[in-house]
Amino acid sequence: MKIVYLDNNATTRVADEVREAMLPFFSDLYGNPSSMHTFGGQVHRKIEVARAQVAALINADPEEIIFTSCGTESDNSAIMGCLNSMPEKRHVITTRVEHPAVLNFCKTIGKRGYRVTLLPVDKLGRLDLDELDKAVTDDTAVVSIMYANNESGVIFPMGDIVNIVKSRGVLLHTDAVQVAGKIPVDVKKQPVDLVSLSGHKMHAAKGVGALYIKRGTRFSPYIIGGHQESGRRGGTENVASIIGFGKSAELAGNHLSAGNSKLIELRDKLEFGLSETCPEARTNGDTENRLPNTLNISFEYVEGEAILLRLNEFNICASSGSACTSGSLEPSHVLRAMGVPYTAIHGSIRFSLSRYTTDDDINKVLDVMPGIIKELRELSPFVK
Ligand code: PLP
Protein backbone atom coordinates (compact mmCIF):
# COMPACT_ATOMS: atom_id res chain seq x y z
CA MET A 1 0.00 0.00 0.00
CA LYS A 2 1.25 3.46 -0.86
CA ILE A 3 2.59 5.56 2.00
CA VAL A 4 1.06 9.00 2.38
CA TYR A 5 4.01 10.88 3.80
CA LEU A 6 3.01 14.13 5.48
CA ASP A 7 5.86 14.37 7.99
CA ASN A 8 8.35 16.36 5.95
CA ASN A 9 9.33 18.67 8.81
CA ALA A 10 10.70 15.55 10.53
CA THR A 11 12.61 14.41 7.46
CA THR A 12 12.24 14.22 3.69
CA ARG A 13 12.80 11.57 1.05
CA VAL A 14 16.12 11.81 -0.76
CA ALA A 15 15.44 13.19 -4.24
CA ASP A 16 16.36 10.79 -7.07
CA GLU A 17 18.73 13.36 -8.56
CA VAL A 18 20.44 13.71 -5.17
CA ARG A 19 20.90 9.96 -4.81
CA GLU A 20 22.35 9.79 -8.32
CA ALA A 21 24.78 12.59 -7.54
CA MET A 22 25.92 10.83 -4.36
CA LEU A 23 26.52 7.33 -5.76
CA PRO A 24 29.98 7.77 -7.35
CA PHE A 25 31.35 8.94 -4.01
CA PHE A 26 30.63 5.54 -2.45
CA SER A 27 32.56 3.68 -5.14
CA ASP A 28 34.89 5.24 -7.72
CA LEU A 29 35.46 8.62 -6.09
CA TYR A 30 36.46 7.57 -2.59
CA GLY A 31 39.58 9.75 -2.22
CA ASN A 32 40.10 11.95 0.82
CA PRO A 33 39.48 15.57 -0.22
CA SER A 34 42.45 16.66 1.94
CA SER A 35 44.94 14.40 0.12
CA MET A 36 47.65 15.92 -2.04
CA HIS A 37 47.13 13.51 -4.96
CA THR A 38 44.89 14.17 -7.93
CA PHE A 39 42.57 11.33 -6.89
CA GLY A 40 41.68 13.17 -3.65
CA GLY A 41 41.88 16.58 -5.31
CA GLN A 42 39.01 15.82 -7.67
CA VAL A 43 36.80 15.07 -4.66
CA HIS A 44 37.87 18.35 -3.09
CA ARG A 45 36.78 20.19 -6.22
CA LYS A 46 33.34 18.52 -6.11
CA ILE A 47 32.92 19.61 -2.50
CA GLU A 48 33.61 23.17 -3.59
CA VAL A 49 30.85 22.87 -6.20
CA ALA A 50 28.47 21.70 -3.47
CA ARG A 51 29.55 24.61 -1.26
CA ALA A 52 28.72 27.04 -4.05
CA GLN A 53 25.32 25.36 -4.58
CA VAL A 54 24.39 25.61 -0.88
CA ALA A 55 25.69 29.20 -0.75
CA ALA A 56 23.57 30.16 -3.77
CA LEU A 57 20.38 28.98 -2.05
CA ILE A 58 20.79 31.70 0.61
CA ASN A 59 22.68 34.22 -1.56
CA ALA A 60 25.91 33.73 0.41
CA ASP A 61 29.46 33.49 -0.88
CA PRO A 62 30.86 29.94 -0.95
CA GLU A 63 33.68 30.77 1.52
CA GLU A 64 31.01 31.71 4.06
CA ILE A 65 29.63 28.12 4.21
CA ILE A 66 31.07 25.30 6.34
CA PHE A 67 29.69 21.78 6.21
CA THR A 68 28.70 20.10 9.48
CA SER A 69 27.15 16.77 10.46
CA CYS A 70 23.57 18.07 10.95
CA GLY A 71 21.40 21.03 11.88
CA THR A 72 21.97 20.31 15.55
CA GLU A 73 25.73 20.62 15.17
CA SER A 74 25.31 23.83 13.19
CA ASP A 75 23.16 25.31 15.98
CA ASN A 76 25.51 24.23 18.79
CA SER A 77 28.58 25.42 16.84
CA ALA A 78 27.04 28.76 15.98
CA ILE A 79 26.22 29.66 19.57
CA MET A 80 29.35 28.21 21.16
CA GLY A 81 31.54 29.55 18.36
CA CYS A 82 30.32 33.07 19.15
CA LEU A 83 30.64 32.66 22.92
CA ASN A 84 34.18 31.27 22.68
CA SER A 85 35.24 34.13 20.45
CA MET A 86 34.21 36.75 23.05
CA PRO A 87 34.74 35.21 26.50
CA GLU A 88 34.10 38.54 28.22
CA LYS A 89 30.38 38.41 27.27
CA ARG A 90 28.14 36.01 29.23
CA HIS A 91 24.60 36.60 27.99
CA VAL A 92 22.63 34.71 25.32
CA ILE A 93 19.12 35.47 24.05
CA THR A 94 16.87 32.92 22.40
CA THR A 95 13.15 32.03 22.37
CA ARG A 96 10.95 29.57 24.24
CA VAL A 97 9.94 27.89 20.99
CA GLU A 98 13.34 26.94 19.53
CA HIS A 99 14.14 23.42 18.48
CA PRO A 100 15.92 21.49 21.29
CA ALA A 101 19.14 21.87 19.27
CA VAL A 102 19.13 25.51 20.42
CA LEU A 103 16.87 25.47 23.48
CA ASN A 104 18.50 22.57 25.32
CA PHE A 105 21.94 23.80 24.32
CA CYS A 106 21.16 27.20 25.84
CA LYS A 107 19.70 25.61 28.96
CA THR A 108 22.90 23.57 29.31
CA ILE A 109 25.20 26.56 29.00
CA GLY A 110 22.88 28.34 31.45
CA LYS A 111 23.93 25.73 34.02
CA ARG A 112 27.57 26.51 33.17
CA GLY A 113 27.34 30.12 34.22
CA TYR A 114 25.93 31.91 31.17
CA ARG A 115 22.84 34.07 31.58
CA VAL A 116 20.14 32.96 29.16
CA THR A 117 17.02 34.97 28.27
CA LEU A 118 14.13 32.99 26.75
CA LEU A 119 11.80 35.29 24.82
CA PRO A 120 8.06 34.51 24.95
CA VAL A 121 5.65 34.25 22.02
CA ASP A 122 1.97 35.20 21.88
CA LYS A 123 -0.96 32.87 21.30
CA LEU A 124 -0.34 32.84 17.56
CA GLY A 125 3.31 31.92 18.11
CA ARG A 126 4.56 35.43 17.21
CA LEU A 127 7.60 36.99 18.80
CA ASP A 128 7.30 40.21 20.82
CA LEU A 129 9.93 42.45 19.24
CA ASP A 130 9.82 44.95 22.14
CA GLU A 131 10.81 42.13 24.49
CA LEU A 132 13.75 41.36 22.21
CA ASP A 133 14.81 45.00 22.19
CA LYS A 134 14.61 45.21 25.99
CA ALA A 135 16.54 41.97 26.47
CA VAL A 136 19.72 43.03 24.61
CA THR A 137 22.45 44.36 26.95
CA ASP A 138 26.14 45.22 26.69
CA ASP A 139 26.84 41.74 28.01
CA THR A 140 24.91 39.97 25.20
CA ALA A 141 27.22 37.87 23.04
CA VAL A 142 24.72 36.30 20.65
CA VAL A 143 21.01 36.27 19.86
CA SER A 144 19.73 32.98 18.40
CA ILE A 145 16.23 33.14 16.93
CA MET A 146 14.83 30.57 14.54
CA TYR A 147 13.65 31.72 11.11
CA ALA A 148 10.53 29.58 11.25
CA ASN A 149 9.17 27.12 13.75
CA ASN A 150 9.29 23.41 12.99
CA GLU A 151 6.02 22.66 14.82
CA SER A 152 3.73 25.61 14.12
CA GLY A 153 5.38 26.70 10.87
CA VAL A 154 5.25 30.33 12.08
CA ILE A 155 7.83 32.52 10.32
CA PHE A 156 9.52 35.16 12.47
CA PRO A 157 10.07 38.67 11.00
CA MET A 158 13.77 38.26 10.31
CA GLY A 159 14.17 41.74 8.79
CA ASP A 160 12.91 43.41 12.00
CA ILE A 161 14.98 41.05 14.16
CA VAL A 162 18.12 41.92 12.18
CA ASN A 163 17.41 45.65 12.60
CA ILE A 164 17.02 45.37 16.37
CA VAL A 165 19.96 43.07 17.04
CA LYS A 166 22.45 44.57 14.60
CA SER A 167 21.71 48.14 15.73
CA ARG A 168 23.04 47.02 19.11
CA GLY A 169 26.19 45.50 17.62
CA VAL A 170 25.33 41.96 18.77
CA LEU A 171 25.86 38.76 16.77
CA LEU A 172 22.70 37.18 15.34
CA HIS A 173 22.30 33.49 14.58
CA THR A 174 19.21 32.01 12.97
CA ASP A 175 18.19 28.38 12.74
CA ALA A 176 16.85 28.23 9.18
CA VAL A 177 16.66 24.44 9.11
CA GLN A 178 12.92 24.47 8.34
CA VAL A 179 13.06 27.43 6.02
CA ALA A 180 15.77 26.77 3.46
CA GLY A 181 14.22 25.59 0.24
CA LYS A 182 10.68 26.45 1.41
CA ILE A 183 10.80 30.24 1.26
CA PRO A 184 13.58 32.49 -0.06
CA VAL A 185 16.42 33.23 2.37
CA ASP A 186 18.79 36.02 1.40
CA VAL A 187 21.66 36.78 3.75
CA LYS A 188 22.53 39.93 1.78
CA LYS A 189 19.04 41.40 2.18
CA GLN A 190 18.71 40.19 5.80
CA PRO A 191 22.28 40.32 7.07
CA VAL A 192 22.27 37.81 9.92
CA ASP A 193 25.72 36.65 11.04
CA LEU A 194 25.18 32.90 11.21
CA VAL A 195 22.59 30.58 9.62
CA SER A 196 22.03 26.86 10.31
CA LEU A 197 20.87 24.49 7.57
CA SER A 198 20.23 20.74 7.47
CA GLY A 199 20.33 18.45 4.44
CA HIS A 200 17.66 15.93 5.39
CA LYS A 201 14.94 18.59 5.66
CA MET A 202 15.40 19.43 1.98
CA HIS A 203 15.62 16.10 0.19
CA ALA A 204 19.30 15.37 0.87
CA ALA A 205 20.63 12.60 3.11
CA LYS A 206 20.58 12.54 6.89
CA GLY A 207 23.81 13.42 8.66
CA VAL A 208 24.86 16.55 6.80
CA GLY A 209 24.30 20.19 7.65
CA ALA A 210 25.82 23.56 6.92
CA LEU A 211 26.58 26.73 8.81
CA TYR A 212 26.77 30.11 7.13
CA ILE A 213 29.26 32.39 8.86
CA LYS A 214 29.23 35.92 7.47
CA ARG A 215 32.65 37.03 6.31
CA GLY A 216 34.50 38.79 9.12
CA THR A 217 32.39 37.26 11.93
CA ARG A 218 34.32 36.38 15.07
CA PHE A 219 33.97 32.61 15.34
CA SER A 220 36.06 29.97 17.00
CA PRO A 221 35.64 26.34 15.88
CA TYR A 222 33.44 24.03 17.93
CA ILE A 223 34.75 20.75 16.50
CA ILE A 224 38.50 20.99 16.77
CA GLY A 225 40.72 18.76 14.67
CA GLY A 226 42.29 18.98 11.24
CA HIS A 227 42.35 21.97 8.95
CA GLN A 228 39.19 21.02 7.04
CA GLU A 229 36.58 23.68 6.23
CA SER A 230 39.31 26.36 6.33
CA GLY A 231 40.11 25.46 9.92
CA ARG A 232 36.56 26.18 11.08
CA ARG A 233 35.38 22.56 11.49
CA GLY A 234 37.70 19.61 11.92
CA GLY A 235 36.90 16.11 10.64
CA THR A 236 37.06 14.34 7.28
CA GLU A 237 34.10 15.47 5.23
CA ASN A 238 30.98 13.32 4.75
CA VAL A 239 31.68 13.58 1.04
CA ALA A 240 28.73 11.78 -0.56
CA SER A 241 26.20 13.55 1.67
CA ILE A 242 27.80 16.93 1.03
CA ILE A 243 27.63 16.37 -2.74
CA GLY A 244 23.97 15.36 -2.37
CA PHE A 245 23.27 18.39 -0.19
CA GLY A 246 24.69 20.63 -2.92
CA LYS A 247 22.41 19.01 -5.49
CA SER A 248 19.39 19.29 -3.19
CA ALA A 249 20.10 23.01 -2.70
CA GLU A 250 20.22 23.50 -6.47
CA LEU A 251 16.91 21.64 -6.89
CA ALA A 252 15.31 23.59 -4.04
CA GLY A 253 16.39 26.87 -5.65
CA ASN A 254 14.78 25.81 -8.95
CA HIS A 255 11.55 24.83 -7.20
CA LEU A 256 11.48 28.11 -5.27
CA SER A 257 11.85 30.09 -8.50
CA ALA A 258 8.91 28.14 -9.94
CA GLY A 259 6.78 29.22 -6.93
CA ASN A 260 5.09 27.39 -4.09
CA SER A 261 1.51 27.80 -5.26
CA LYS A 262 0.75 24.07 -5.64
CA LEU A 263 2.14 23.31 -2.17
CA ILE A 264 0.09 26.09 -0.59
CA GLU A 265 -3.02 24.99 -2.48
CA LEU A 266 -2.67 21.43 -1.14
CA ARG A 267 -1.93 22.55 2.42
CA ASP A 268 -4.93 24.90 2.38
CA LYS A 269 -7.17 22.23 0.93
CA LEU A 270 -6.18 19.98 3.83
CA GLU A 271 -6.72 22.73 6.38
CA PHE A 272 -10.14 23.83 5.12
CA GLY A 273 -11.26 20.27 4.53
CA LEU A 274 -10.39 19.19 8.07
CA SER A 275 -11.93 22.31 9.62
CA GLU A 276 -15.17 21.65 7.78
CA THR A 277 -15.50 17.94 8.40
CA CYS A 278 -14.06 17.58 11.91
CA PRO A 279 -15.91 19.48 14.63
CA GLU A 280 -13.79 21.45 17.10
CA ALA A 281 -10.71 21.47 14.92
CA ARG A 282 -8.55 24.60 15.24
CA THR A 283 -5.39 25.65 13.47
CA ASN A 284 -2.45 26.58 15.70
CA GLY A 285 -0.20 29.50 14.83
CA ASP A 286 -0.16 32.65 12.73
CA THR A 287 -1.67 31.62 9.40
CA GLU A 288 -0.57 34.94 7.83
CA ASN A 289 3.11 34.17 8.34
CA ARG A 290 3.49 30.45 7.97
CA LEU A 291 5.67 28.02 6.05
CA PRO A 292 3.87 26.98 2.86
CA ASN A 293 4.11 23.28 3.73
CA THR A 294 3.01 23.21 7.39
CA LEU A 295 -0.35 22.75 9.10
CA ASN A 296 -0.56 22.35 12.86
CA ILE A 297 -4.13 21.56 13.81
CA SER A 298 -5.74 20.52 17.10
CA PHE A 299 -8.71 18.21 17.48
CA GLU A 300 -9.98 19.01 20.95
CA TYR A 301 -10.60 16.26 23.49
CA VAL A 302 -8.76 13.61 21.47
CA GLU A 303 -5.24 12.26 22.06
CA GLY A 304 -2.84 13.16 19.23
CA GLU A 305 -1.00 9.86 19.67
CA ALA A 306 -4.29 7.97 19.21
CA ILE A 307 -4.92 9.90 15.99
CA LEU A 308 -1.42 9.08 14.74
CA LEU A 309 -1.91 5.38 15.45
CA ARG A 310 -5.17 5.34 13.55
CA LEU A 311 -3.63 7.29 10.65
CA ASN A 312 -0.76 4.82 10.68
CA GLU A 313 -3.24 2.01 9.99
CA PHE A 314 -4.04 3.81 6.73
CA ASN A 315 -0.30 4.25 5.98
CA ILE A 316 -0.55 7.97 6.62
CA CYS A 317 2.49 9.51 8.34
CA ALA A 318 2.14 12.72 10.32
CA SER A 319 3.38 13.80 13.70
CA SER A 320 2.17 15.15 17.01
CA GLY A 321 4.48 17.84 18.34
CA SER A 322 8.06 17.47 17.14
CA ALA A 323 9.14 14.07 15.83
CA CYS A 324 12.61 14.77 17.21
CA THR A 325 11.11 14.66 20.70
CA SER A 326 8.74 11.76 20.18
CA GLY A 327 9.17 8.99 22.66
CA SER A 328 8.15 11.44 25.35
CA LEU A 329 4.49 12.19 25.95
CA GLU A 330 5.38 15.63 27.30
CA PRO A 331 3.08 18.17 25.65
CA SER A 332 4.80 20.24 22.98
CA HIS A 333 6.87 23.09 24.49
CA VAL A 334 6.00 25.20 21.44
CA LEU A 335 2.22 24.92 21.85
CA ARG A 336 2.59 25.41 25.61
CA ALA A 337 4.59 28.61 25.03
CA MET A 338 1.72 29.77 22.77
CA GLY A 339 -0.77 29.14 25.56
CA VAL A 340 -2.77 26.59 23.54
CA PRO A 341 -5.27 24.99 25.98
CA TYR A 342 -4.24 21.63 27.41
CA THR A 343 -7.12 19.77 25.73
CA ALA A 344 -6.06 21.14 22.34
CA ILE A 345 -2.31 20.59 22.80
CA HIS A 346 -2.87 16.91 23.41
CA GLY A 347 -4.96 16.62 20.27
CA SER A 348 -2.54 18.46 18.01
CA ILE A 349 -1.27 17.01 14.76
CA ARG A 350 1.38 18.44 12.48
CA PHE A 351 0.96 17.72 8.79
CA SER A 352 3.99 18.79 6.75
CA LEU A 353 3.93 18.49 2.97
CA SER A 354 6.67 18.50 0.35
CA ARG A 355 6.94 19.05 -3.39
CA TYR A 356 6.22 15.33 -3.75
CA THR A 357 2.81 15.59 -2.03
CA THR A 358 -0.09 14.89 -4.38
CA ASP A 359 -3.82 15.63 -4.51
CA ASP A 360 -4.42 11.93 -3.85
CA ASP A 361 -2.42 12.14 -0.62
CA ILE A 362 -4.55 15.01 0.66
CA ASN A 363 -7.79 13.37 -0.48
CA LYS A 364 -6.84 10.23 1.43
CA VAL A 365 -6.41 12.17 4.68
CA LEU A 366 -9.64 14.08 4.13
CA ASP A 367 -11.37 10.76 3.53
CA VAL A 368 -10.33 9.04 6.73
CA MET A 369 -9.95 11.83 9.30
CA PRO A 370 -13.63 12.59 10.05
CA GLY A 371 -14.23 8.90 10.90
CA ILE A 372 -11.12 8.72 13.07
CA ILE A 373 -12.02 11.85 15.04
CA LYS A 374 -15.63 10.76 15.49
CA GLU A 375 -14.60 7.34 16.73
CA LEU A 376 -11.98 8.69 19.17
CA ARG A 377 -14.34 11.38 20.49
CA GLU A 378 -16.85 8.68 21.34
CA LEU A 379 -14.15 7.03 23.47
CA SER A 380 -12.96 10.28 25.05
CA PRO A 381 -13.60 10.68 28.80
CA PHE A 382 -13.74 14.47 28.23
CA VAL A 383 -16.76 14.33 25.90
CA LYS A 384 -20.22 13.51 27.26
N1 PLP B 1 16.35 23.00 13.97
C2 PLP B 1 15.10 22.80 13.57
C3 PLP B 1 14.17 23.97 13.45
C4 PLP B 1 14.65 21.51 13.28
O5 PLP B 1 13.39 21.32 12.88
C6 PLP B 1 15.56 20.43 13.41
C7 PLP B 1 15.09 19.05 13.18
O8 PLP B 1 13.91 18.76 13.28
C9 PLP B 1 16.87 20.71 13.80
C10 PLP B 1 17.24 22.00 14.08
C11 PLP B 1 17.88 19.62 13.93
O12 PLP B 1 18.37 19.24 12.66
P13 PLP B 1 19.11 17.85 12.49
O14 PLP B 1 18.07 16.78 12.57
O15 PLP B 1 19.77 17.93 11.16
O16 PLP B 1 20.10 17.75 13.61
- The CATH number given to 17-251 is 3.40.640.10
Whole-number Å distance between alpha carbons of 175 and 182:
14
Residue 173 CB–ligand 1 contact under 6 Å: no
Kindly report the protein residue whose alpha carbon is nearest to atom 9 of ligand 1. Answer: 71
Mutate to test the pocket of ligand 1, among 201, 293, 325 (most ligand atoms within 8 A of CB): 201
Catalytic residue numbers read: 324
Centre of ligand 1 from the C-alpha of residue 256, in Å: 21
Is 211 touching ligand 1 by the criterion CB < 6 Å? no
CB 153 less than 6 A from any atom of ligand 1: no
Domain ranges (residues) in the chain: 4-11+256-379, 17-251
- Pick from 68, 76, 198 the residue to mutate for probing ligand 1's pocket: most ligand atoms within 8 Å of its CB: 198
Which tens digit of pLDDT belongs to each residue from 230-264?
Answer: 999 999 999 999 999 999 999 999 999 888 999 99
Ligand 1 neighbourhood includes 91 CB (under 6 angstroms): no
**Local structure of 198: helix, strand or coil:** strand
Q: Which residues contact 121 (CB under 8 A, 6 or more apart)?
A: 95, 96, 97, 127, 128, 154, 337, 338
Distance CA 155, CA 157 (A): 7
Residues of the chain with pLDDT under 70: 321-329, 383-384
Cα 4–99–135 angle (5° rounding)? 145
Residue 256 and residue 202 in contact, taking contact as beta carbons nearer than 8 Å: no
- Closest Cα to atom 12 of ligand 1: 71
Q: Is the CB of 99 under 6 A from ligand 1?
A: yes
pLDDT at 321: 62
Beta strand segments in the chain, E:
4-5, 65-68, 91-95, 115-119, 140-144, 171-175, 194-198, 209-213, 281-283, 294-299, 316-317, 348-352
Give the separation between CA 322 and CA 10, rounded to whole angstroms: 7
We find that the CATH architecture of domain 4-11+256-379 is Alpha-Beta Complex (3.90)
Q: Is the CB of 175 under 6 A from ligand 1?
A: yes
Count of all residues that appear for the chain in the document: 384
Virtual torsion, Cα 225, 227, 228, 230, nearest 10 deg: 130
Q: Are 65 and 199 in contact, with CB atoms under 8 Å apart? A: no
What pLDDT is attached to residue 290? Answer: 98
Whole-angstrom Cα distance, residue 92 to residue 219? 15
Q: How far is the CA of 189 from the centre of ligand 1 (A)?
A: 24
DSSP 66-125: EEESSHHHHHHHHHHHHHHH-TT--EEEEETTS-HHHHHHHHHHHHTT-EEEEE-B-TTS
Please give the distance, rounded to the nearest whole angstrom, from the Cα atom of residue 194 to the centre of ligand 1.
15
Q: How many angstroms separate the alpha carbon of residue 238 from the centre of ligand 1? A: 18
pLDDT score, position 104: 97
Using the mean position of ligand 1's atoms as its centre, give its distance from the Cα of residue 322 in Å: 10
